[in-house]
Structure 1
Amino acid sequence: MPTALKSLHVLALGLWVGGAAFFNFVTAPTIFESFKQVVEAGPSDRTAFQPLGRPGADAKDKAALANALAGSAVGPVFPRYFLWQLVCGAVALTTAAAWWRLGGVHRWRVVVIGGAVVCVSAGWPLSDAITRLRVQRFDPDRAVAEAADAAFKAWHLWSLGLSTVTVLLAGAGLAMAAKLPADERPVGGSGPF
């Protein structure tokens, strides 16, 4: 059982850190850059040769359109993304809690992973609020759009920071896996591992 517990712990942390880091630092930036290129290029095979935006749009309008399109592409991913993180975090935290009694790094592991789970738990509702603001940024009422845009920018920055802290904490938890507890079996014990 101890080896299975350690394996589950490392697997959960690896999936969590890998998925979150890949989404935050590779996937999302690539999607935003891709939509920027699509909007700048105008009708092409990537737009089914349909024009995007209004004719004669300036650079600011094109940037807004690119961000809106990219946001609409990544937005639907967030509920599954946060659920993935919470499941991985719950498994990692539960397995780490089994070693709390051992003290030292094992207690720090629980604190670090617990902090990452708290960040995910705070980030999910924040993401939902940002999604609502993203839509309101394009409200036909200029006052509503401007207020939503200001709030969106501030909360989106907080969200990015929280996401970065989550990846760093979960990554630290993964690094701590180098110091997992020793098996309690005697050398030469039975078992597949």
Structure 2
Amino acid sequence: VEAARLHPSDPYVLIVDEINRANLAKVFGELYFLLEYRDDAIGLLYSPESDFVMPPNVFFIGTMNTTDRSLGLIDAAMRRRFGFVELHPSGPPTAGLLASWLQRLVKNENVEHNLDAPAVLEALNGRIDDHELALGPSYLMRPQIYRSKDGLARAWETSILPLLADHHYGAPPAVLDKYRLASLRAALAAQQLSAGEPQA
């Protein structure tokens, strides 16, 4: 905050990851007031000898994962102080992110395995019925996945399927069959064959 005061023309950003995992009123404390009234000074509980003002060039970005429905959502008071933007895997800027990241990886590291990952992820999300449960690209943005032939299969078995199994807790194991890597790749191959495209 002191740096922001000394350089008022420069933006300073504080990122709070998974902001909905905490009791925001307790975490933000006096900031609750200052987020809305930037020009006002307040006394801090643990530094009562000096007033505190939030500089206008300090910005807060909070991320939240709405998939975890056991967590509390943002209350009305906090909604009033923040703008909300959905970053769904099917829309910008998230859609296409894995494909562009993978293109750079191919160019920089000359990897050659599992280059169908963006299409497989899109096919997977097409089979997930709940909009909130669609998977973003970060699960597959690990270079080691593309350095070996079985890299994607390992990531699928250790990250993707366990996550989907949690979402379908209590359902018969066969429910997961439609999410298996082999099933998705077979469907993509059939689509390519019917469209006359070369297979990956």
TM-score of the pair, normalised by structure 2 = 0.29
| Structure that is richer in helix per residue | 1
Which is bigger in relative contact order (C-alpha 8 A, separation at least 6)?
Answer: 1
